[in-house]
Amino acid sequence: MYRKYITGFMLAGMALLSSCVCARELKINRIAAKPAFRIEYLNESMAEDKRSFMEMISNVSSGQRVVDYEVLEQTVKYQLSDKDQEALMRIVEAEAGGEDQNGKLLVANVVLNRVNNENFPDTVWDVVMQREQGVAQFSPTVDGRYQSVKVSTDTKKAVERALYGEDISQGALYFCAREKADSEKLQWFDRKLTRLFSYGSHEFFQ
């Protein structure tokens, strides 16, 4: 008999609790349905979206600045004066005007290798114009080619690659065109230097 009453009380309590929950949900739904609630929720949502968007833009921009700085740091290797840059472009054009861009790059590399070597002058101009016992190191400086050349776009690109640090010369400090060089100079090259490789019409030595 008592069990019957207890069961009844439990069922009644559950019904009352369910009614309270439903009433609370109904109240919330009514509040949510009000225009003021919808507007407030929409404004908060838009503000959050705006914050997220601005954070994303800020992160991307910051990352781009870092990338740009790193690229610049990696590419700029040689800062030359106008005089030195002009000398480099002219000697590359005079020595390798008929070569492809890599052939021109190699000549620029040799000049810059000499600048960096303690046995040669410290500037491009002085390297290009150097004379050893009265003999010019680069023949175009005495036969008129250096002064008369018109520097091509391709030569400018090759020099730019060299100034940005691209070096395919294997450390070469000398080069010659065997077909055009006189026999005495060739004998000196072959006897005194180490041949590294040939490219185009030039042979490169160290």
Same domain for 134 and 55: no
Has residue 57 got a pLDDT over 70? no
Same domain for 107 and 151: yes
How would you classify the pairing of strands 202-205 and 195-199?
A: antiparallel
pLDDT score recorded for residue 192: 95
> Which domain, by its residues, includes 186?
82-205
pTM of the model: 0.65
119 compared with 182, residue with greater pLDDT: 119
Q: How does the average pLDDT of the chain come out, rounded?
A: 79
pLDDT score recorded for residue 125: 98
- CA 94 – CA 148 distance, rounded (Å): 9
Has residue 158 got a pLDDT over 80? yes
Same domain for 108 and 27: no
Same domain for 115 and 40: no
pLDDT score recorded for residue 181: 80
Residue 176 parent element (H or E): strand 174-176
pLDDT score recorded for residue 82: 97
Same domain for 49 and 18: yes
| Domain end among 22, 41, 75 | 75
Side chain identity at residue 113, one-letter code: N
pLDDT-based confidence at residue 102 (cuts at 50, 70, 90): very high
Has residue 202 got a pLDDT over 60? yes
Same domain for 177 and 92: yes
| Domain end among 75, 90, 116 | 75
Per mean pLDDT, which of 61-75, 112-126, 129-143, 179-193 is the most reliable? Answer: 112-126
Percent of the chain with pLDDT over 70: 64
DSSP 130: -
Neighbouring residues of 70: CB distance < 8 A, sequence distance ≥ 6: none
| Domain end among 43, 75, 107 | 75
32 compared with 206, residue with greater pLDDT: 206
- For the chain, the domain total comes to 2
